[in-house]
Chains A and B, each alone.
Chain A
Amino acid sequence: MNNRKTSVFDGILGDNMVLSSLMVISPVIICGDTLKNAEALSYAFTSVTILSMLIASFVPKKLPYTVKIIIYAMISSLVYIPVKVATQEFYRGAIDRIGIYFPLLAVNSLIVLQSEAKFFRMPRAKMFFSLFFYVVGFDIVMLLTGLIRELLAYGTINGRVADVDLPVSGLSQPFGGFIFLGLMCGLYRWIRSLVSREKKEMRSEPNVSDN
């Protein structure tokens, strides 16, 4: 149970892959300017990453590191094909808007680098639980970025006009994405330090017993 709790916080708050390790930030910066793009990217990232890692976890561990990395990348490139077809069905026009960032999701660092460094060192059940929350962590950041940037840059939410009178059009541009993500990272670290400080204070409080 304890392990489970740690995994949840690892992927979502404790070690968020975007805000803490800056992994897979290109699509967040460039395509995370509308909620529609964010939804399509989150769906594709979740499907490609989880399916690829599920298949890749059966690759023999004895193979040389380089061979394993190439096999993982090949697996995710294969998984990408049906995911692309499904995305065309569910999110019409999304692939054209997202452009080259869509196939790039298939060779993301979670599959190519973190699989060997972190996930495949864990027991399989724990690995999937942990991976799931890392992916959820990415999705939350992606959707939040898409929502806020769309609201501030275009004055809309999911394409519908919202009553917001402060459009910051620069937020739809790549430089806006860099700055917005930098601010999110800073805010995330501040929250994380507050949480850890609170935990430390709770631990250092003297135990008061009735005896």
Chain B
Amino acid sequence: MFLITDLIALLAANLILTQALGTSTLFIAAGNRKNLIWTACTITVFTTVGSVAAYITDRNLPEKYSDYSLLIYTLSVGILYVILLSALYFISRDNFAKTRKYIHVSAFNCAVMGTLFTISRKASEDSSLMNLGSYIRAGFEAGIGFILAAVILTAAYRKLNSVKVPASFRGFPAMLIYLGIISMAVYALK
């Protein structure tokens, strides 16, 4: 029962299904199951670690300088981008060329940046969420939500690209309508 409740909560707060954040990245990666899983995992790393940077920024940035939060988030994600690429290079130089694309695709996209802004907005509305634990948890949940949406899309990917679908709607248009129907179901759950 707890699992079902958690699953419903995860769906209801899903980045893609309720906020359309990272939809383009999801579609780009959807062509290949391996790509999709790796991209989703990399985005989870970015949202989780990025949420720490968002917490530090929100905690220390005075209200009158709030317009600069985007600049600081971007700088933080940029630093994380370099750190992850360097780590990947030192861990496995042979696989670096193959795997760096996941980091390139995941760094600056709506899923990551949108998560940081969403967490920040929620914390500004509810002061009980203004702590490091809540930020990291929300960042991690957002990443897991992305993985869940990726799994939902992968399940129907072949059928949405099948020749049985009219040529004009095959691929992206069918995927959008499919996500719309899933999003409608999630909306009803809320």
- Shortest B137–chain A CB gap in Å is 19
- Contact pattern, A 163-207, Cβ under 8 Å of B = 1, otherwise 0: 000000010011111110111011101100100000000000000
Given contacts A77-B74, A100-B121, A178-B183, contact A23 B24 (CB under 8 A): yes
- In the assembly, what is the distance between CA of A104 and CA of B181, in Å? 25
Q: B173 contacts the other chain (Cβ, under 8 Å)?
A: yes
Residue of A nearest to B25 (CB): A109
Residue among A30, A176, A181, A186 making CB contact with B169, cutoff 8 Å: A186
Number of interface residues of B (CB under 8 A): 49
With contact pairs A103-B70, A173-B187, A174-B187 given, residues A26 and B110 touching in the complex (Cβ less than 8 Å): yes
A178–B20 CA distance with the chains assembled, in angstroms = 8
A186 to B183, CA, bound (A): 19
With the chains together, A78 CA to B75 CA distance in Å? 11
Per-position binary interface string of chain A over residues 106-126, scored 1 when its CB falls under 8 Å from any chain B CB and 0 otherwise: 110100100000000000000
B19 CB within 8 Å of chain A: yes
Q: By the criterion CB–CB under 8 Å, are A109 and B109 in contact?
A: yes
**Chain A binding surface, main DSSP class:** helix
Q: Indicate if B12 sits at the interface (CB-CB under 8 A).
A: no
A174 close to B20 (CB less than 8 A): yes
Residues of B within 8 A of A (CB): 17-24, 27, 67-71, 73-75, 77-78, 81-82, 85, 104, 107-110, 113-114, 117-118, 121, 166-169, 172-177, 179-181, 183-184, 186-187
Cα distance A66–B107 when bound, in Å? 10
User: Does residue A99 face the partner (Cβ distance < 8 Å to B)?
Assistant: yes
Task: Flag if A66 contacts B81 (CB, 8 Å).
Answer: yes
- For residue A16, give the distance in angstroms from its CB to the closest CB of chain B: 12
Task: Give complex CA distance A20, B85 in Å.
Answer: 30
CA distance A24 to B75 in the complex (A): 21
- A184 CB to closest chain B CB (Å) equals 8
Chain A residues whose C-beta falls within 8 Å of the C-beta of B75 in the assembled complex? 74
**Contact indicator B187/A185 (Cβ below 8 Å):** no
CA distance A65 to B100 in the complex (A): 12
Q: Which 3 A-B pairs have the closest CB atoms?
A: A178-B180, A182-B176, A179-B180
**Are B121 and A99 touching (Cβ within 8 A)?**
yes
Kindly provide the distance from the CB of B87 to the nearest chain A CB, expressed in whole angstroms.
Answer: 13
CA distance A24 to B22 in the complex (A): 9
